[in-house]
Amino acid sequence: MSYLNELYQQVILDHNKRPRNFGELEQANHHADGYNPLCGDRVTVYLKVQGDVVEDIRFKGVGCAISTASASLMTEVLKGKTVAEAGAVFKRFHSVVTGRSTDTSDLGKLAVFQGVSEYPVRVKCATLAWHTLQAALDGKADTVSTE
């Protein structure tokens, strides 16, 4: 395993062990549930959007290391961003984890998920929280499924 891969692995394991912004958000004005039946990952994303800004974002759920770490890093990256910026980050993240783009220069810590593009089943784990975020922002009530 290369040094970079090992480093990335450590970031994912760390966020899985100690997820950031974990738990319900009482002042949330958007939330949605997501489910990935292929792996069994479940996530609920809570957002407090004020004006156009994601003032606070939290999540809870049970899932594999990739899905939990992805949700945790997502909350870190998106807090304080505008809704439009959050959508743009999701687009970039999605194109990297699905292998359509190999440029991670603007993704910061989210670059750790680039290796996921080699494992199509894992792409759903990595993007579950993001699809759920999008559903929360769009105000959809039903559970989002990756299928």
Q: How far is CA 137 from the centre of its chain?
A: 14
Decide: residue 37, CB within 10 A, 0-12 exposed, 13-18 middle, 19+ buried.
exposed
CB of 131 to Zn ion, least distance (A): 13
Neighbours of 146 (CB within 10 A): 18
CB of 29 to Zn ion, least distance (A): 28
Q: Hey, what are 50's tokens?
A: 């004020």
Among 17-25, 50-58, 62-70, 96-104, which window interacts with Zn ion (CB under 5 A)? 62-70
CB of 141 to Zn ion, least distance (A): 24
For the window 24-53, what string marks contact with Zn ion as x by the rule CB under 5 A? ---------------x-x------------
Q: Is position 67 an interface residue for Zn ion (rule: CB under 5 A)? A: yes
CB 26 within 8 A of CB 19: no
Q: What is the rounded CA–CA span in Å between residue 99 and residue 71?
A: 19
CB of 136 to Zn ion, least distance (A): 19
For the window 116-135, what string marks contact with Zn ion as x by the rule CB under 5 A? ---------x----------
CB 141 within 8 A of CB 120: no
CA-based nearest residue to 30, from 9, 11, 53: 53
CB of 120 to Zn ion, least distance (A): 12
For the window 78-117, what string marks contact with Zn ion as x by the rule CB under 5 A? ----------------------------------------
Q: Hey, what are 81's tokens?
A: 């961003």
Contacting positions for Zn ion (CB under 5 A) = 39, 41, 64, 67, 125
